[in-house]
Chains A and B, each alone.
Chain A
Amino acid sequence: MDLEFTLEERSFREQVRTWLEENKPSEPRPKSDDLEQRNYDLAWQRTLYDNGWAGIAWPKAYGGRELGTIAQLIWFEEYAKAKAPYLGANFVGINHGGPTLIARATEEQKTFHLPKILKGEVVWCQGFSEPGSGSDLASLSTKAVVDGDQLVITGQKIWTSFAHIADYQELLVRTDPDAPKHKGISWVICDMHAPGITIRQIPTIIRGAEFCEVFYDEVRLPLSSVVGNLNDGWSVAMSTLSFERGTGFMAAIIELTTTIEELIDIARHKKSPDGKRTYFQDDEYRRKLLSLKAEIMALRSATYRAISRNMRQDAPGPEGSILKLVMSDLNQKLARLGVDILGIEALAFGGSHRDGGVSTAAWLGSFSGSIAGGTSEIQRNIVSERVLGMPRG
């Protein structure tokens, strides 16, 4: 065991820090206009690519740096410290779609799609959940019928962030209705500009409209859009999800460590309602803040350990679910404590929760953490059944 970073890793950290400090956008991410957000997010991605910071762990052949998980960790740590912009519309391409393609796509699919993602030329979205298939994802019913060299897709997806400004979608469809539910699913790259697609934006409690539902009315895609084999989509999807629960949340976890310091700083300066002391001088708040800080430190340490574990095995194991579970709990606790300390100021909605920091919007935004990417109930099932070996219900 050791906590030391190599000379090479330390010099990488120095380069990242300097570059981000000098090059992060001075303009904040636009708050409401969808196209402006798309343009802003893609322009930032392009800047990252042009300067060699896109796809730190992606293969060189597709434009990445091929640097390993520790470099990725260093990048996220410095990125959070620099308060560089939220990935926004690039999230799915960089964190889900791209990594799945790297793991499971054909050479042709990879060569076509991966550089476009890294260069900030396209926006990806995710089409997994359906109105009737949430936690029971494998029960999904959007169907795809093979017609010659095409797939014909009919059905509906929901909770699709950025569908309205996306170019491609990682889409799960049922290609064999007669097979057991996990065996009849395919993972498809869907062209979001194809005829037959209708999108409705869904307003959310954080006042965003990036959430969408997507309707497919006999949408025709080339059969070559399938990633992995036909009807093997469940295993392809799982490679995305275990990635997401493994190191995909590294950035968000590291953000917690900066936000708790920000909140402690606010508490050191802000007078508590009795006017006699600051929030930090109030025993109740100080202990809440510091015990939460201790928990966040432990989550950071567990992330370091998960990275070390991943370096000894090919794919992240089910232990990643622990990180996801604890991260969403602690994020909610932190956001809740934040609005407590904001006090009467918290009546104002505040900025976008994606700006990080402490705000009422951040508190409302924190509710999504225990629902998105597999609910906390599902994470607890994974931990108890696959890590601890408890019997399935």
Chain B
Amino acid sequence: MDMMQSPEQDEIERTVAAFLTEKFPVRGHGHSFKRTEPEIADELWQECCNLGWLSLGLSEEAGGVGYGLAEEAILFRELGRGLAPGPFLSGVLAAHVAATAGDHELVAKIISGEVRVALATPLNTDEASASFSGDISLVHTERADYAVMITPNKSAIYAMENVAVEPVDSVDISLAVGRAKFDNVHALHLVDSGASSLYERALILAAAISVGMAIEVMRISVEYSKTREQFGKPIGSFQALKTYAAYMASRCELAESQLFFAALAVEARFESARSEALAARFNANEAARINGEHAIQIHGGYGYTTEYTPYRFVTRNHVIERIITLRSAVIDAI
């Protein structure tokens, strides 16, 4: 038993983090409240695909790098930490669905960046089905050729060519969000979620994004508290702020531990794997949400502006905690 990252896993973390810091600096949006640029620039998306980010956890037979769920979780934690835009989560999940369905051609197109996939979450708690009708919320709609839907029992890929997407004025303006009404849309692939632990993978990778955000929003808040002075000393010296900070750190430690415990439990096919994955998602959501709230409070008036960055973690988490499965459904299934 070893719950610490190996040197090789540290290397994945370092490489991804360095790339994100250089290419996706986290900034406030200032006066722009609408997205004016693509969610992710084409060249940048291509570069990420070329780095193998969409195929990290796919087996080598399926054309992937051959790492496990823990390494994928490390990648997504870093993507969360860096608030990366782009259809990473949907791309990785769709590649796993396609691989499970044995469609190696589609796997290759997804992981090479040739096609893009949006993330579909049904508005009701419907299961994905061979012919889906109902309202759908979509994230990463830009240039999406397909949509992937992961639900507890079934997972599906739908072609988007005949689907009209109505853009939504997203709370997180860096993401392309939309709504669509599916009317008997036929699944290109429909597989059992249990077959390749697809639902657990979706829960864990979403949790990884939240864990990364919880860690980073804590870090910027702690740094701010060391430099911001009131009453002649750094506000970080006051016990009221230390209480916030200590609990932020506790939430990160617990959520991150549960994230990796769950990832390993899924890979080892523990009987409790689903419960562990749900618990990972629950703890990660709480950590990102509450740490974000504290971050705004610690930054005071600055935290209420779009010139500083705490709101970016809060609004991104607002999206992340709603995709795939809602909070109440997660709790009920633990």
Q: Which residues of A contact B (CB under 8 A)?
A: 1-5, 9, 70, 286-287, 290-291, 293-295, 297-302, 304-305, 307-309, 311-312, 319, 322, 325-326, 377, 379-381, 383-385, 387-393
User: Contacts A2-B2, A297-B276 hold; do A390 and B331 have CB atoms under 8 A apart?
Assistant: no
Q: Which of A299, A300, A388 has the most CB of B within 10 A?
A: A388
Kindly specify which of B95-103, B120-128, B251-259 makes contact with the partner chain: B251-259
Give A387 to B242 CA distance when docked, in angstroms.
Answer: 11
Q: Which of B226-247 contact A (CB under 8 A)?
A: 226, 233-234, 236-239, 241-243, 245-247
A380's partner among B236, B243, B260 (CB-CB below 8 A) is B243
CB distance from B326 to the nearest CB of A (A): 12
Which residues of the partner chain A approach B263 to less than 8 Å between Cβ atoms? 1
Do the beta carbons of B242 and A390 come within 8 Å of each other?
yes
Do the beta carbons of A383 and B249 come within 8 Å of each other?
yes
Which residues of the partner chain B approach A302 to less than 8 Å between Cβ atoms? 253-254, 257-258
Do the beta carbons of A393 and B1 come within 8 Å of each other?
no
B249's partner among A9, A290, A322 (CB-CB below 8 A) is A322
CB distance from B255 to the nearest CB of A (A): 6
CB distance from B221 to the nearest CB of A (A): 10
Using a Cβ–Cβ cut-off of 8 Å, how many residues does chain B contribute to the interface with A? 51
Q: Can you give 12 contacting A-B residue pairs, CB < 8 Å?
A: A293-B279, A298-B257, A302-B253, A302-B257, A304-B261, A311-B2, A326-B250, A379-B246, A381-B242, A390-B234, A390-B241, A391-B234
User: Contacts A390-B236, A392-B237 hold; do A1 and B9 have CB atoms under 8 A apart?
Assistant: yes
User: Contacts A1-B6, A302-B254 hold; do A287 and B249 have CB atoms under 8 A apart?
Assistant: no
Which residues of the partner chain A approach B290 to less than 8 Å between Cβ atoms? none
Q: Which A-chain residue is minimally distant from B218 (CB atoms)?
A: A388
Give A393 to B245 CA distance when docked, in angstroms.
Answer: 14
Give A213 to B255 CA distance when docked, in angstroms.
Answer: 41
Which residues of the partner chain A approach B1 to less than 8 Å between Cβ atoms? 2-5, 9, 70, 304, 307-308
Q: Which residues of B contact A (CB under 8 A)?
A: 1-6, 9, 70, 218, 222, 225-226, 233-234, 236-239, 241-243, 245-247, 249-250, 253-258, 260-265, 268, 270, 275-276, 278-280, 282-283, 328, 331-332, 334
Which residues of the partner chain B approach A319 to less than 8 Å between Cβ atoms? 253
Task: List the 4 closest A-B pairs by CB distance, nearest first.
Answer: A380-B246, A301-B261, A384-B242, A301-B257
Which residues of the partner chain B approach A305 to less than 8 Å between Cβ atoms? 3-4, 253, 256-257, 260
Do the beta carbons of A384 and B245 come within 8 Å of each other?
yes
User: Contacts A3-B265, A294-B334 hold; do A304 and B3 have CB atoms under 8 A apart?
Assistant: yes
Which residues of the partner chain A approach B246 to less than 8 Å between Cβ atoms? 322, 325, 379-381, 383-384, 388
Give A113 to B41 CA distance when docked, in angstroms.
Answer: 69
Number of inter-chain CB pairs below 8 Å: 150
Give A304 to B263 CA distance when docked, in angstroms.
Answer: 14
Is the contact region of chain A dominated by helix, strand, or loop, or is it mixed? Answer: helix
Do the beta carbons of B222 and A1 come within 8 Å of each other?
no
Q: Which of B70, B237, B278 has the most CB of A within 10 A?
A: B237
Do the beta carbons of B239 and A377 come within 8 Å of each other?
yes
Give A187 to B159 CA distance when docked, in angstroms.
Answer: 72
Give A194 to B260 CA distance when docked, in angstroms.
Answer: 53
Give A30 to B70 CA distance when docked, in angstroms.
Answer: 48
CB distance from A138 to the nearest CB of B (A): 18
Given contacts A305-B257, A390-B225, 13 further A-B contacts (CB under 8 A): A1-B6, A1-B9, A3-B265, A294-B283, A298-B279, A301-B257, A301-B258, A319-B253, A379-B246, A383-B246, A383-B249, A391-B237, A392-B237
CB distance from A188 to the nearest CB of B (A): 33
B236's partner among A5, A286, A297, A391 (CB-CB below 8 A) is A391
Q: Which of A3, A308, A377, A381 has the most CB of B within 10 A?
A: A3
Q: Which A-chain residue is minimally distant from B219 (CB atoms)?
A: A388
Give A389 to B253 CA distance when docked, in angstroms.
Answer: 16
Give A389 to B283 CA distance when docked, in angstroms.
Answer: 24
User: Contacts A3-B265, A294-B278, A390-B222 hold; do A308 and B4 have CB atoms under 8 A apart?
Assistant: yes
Do the beta carbons of A309 and B4 come within 8 Å of each other?
yes
Do the beta carbons of B233 and A388 come within 8 Å of each other?
no
Do the beta carbons of B237 and A383 come within 8 Å of each other?
no
Q: Which B-chain residue is minimally distant from A384 (CB atoms)?
A: B242
Q: Which of B218, B226, B246 has the most CB of A within 10 A?
A: B246
Q: Which B-chain residue is minimally distant from A319 (CB atoms)?
A: B253
B261's partner among A3, A309, A381, A392 (CB-CB below 8 A) is A3
Give A381 to B249 CA distance when docked, in angstroms.
Answer: 12
CB distance from A313 to the nearest CB of B (A): 11
Which residues of the partner chain A approach B5 to less than 8 Å between Cβ atoms? 1
Do the beta carbons of B222 and A389 come within 8 Å of each other?
yes
CB distance from A383 to the nearest CB of B (A): 4
Give A393 to B6 CA distance when docked, in angstroms.
Answer: 37
Q: Which A-chain residue is minimally distant from B268 (CB atoms)?
A: A3
Give A312 to B236 CA distance when docked, in angstroms.
Answer: 30
Do the beta carbons of A390 and B261 come within 8 Å of each other?
no
User: Contacts A380-B243, A388-B245 hold; do A297 and B2 have CB atoms under 8 A apart?
Assistant: no
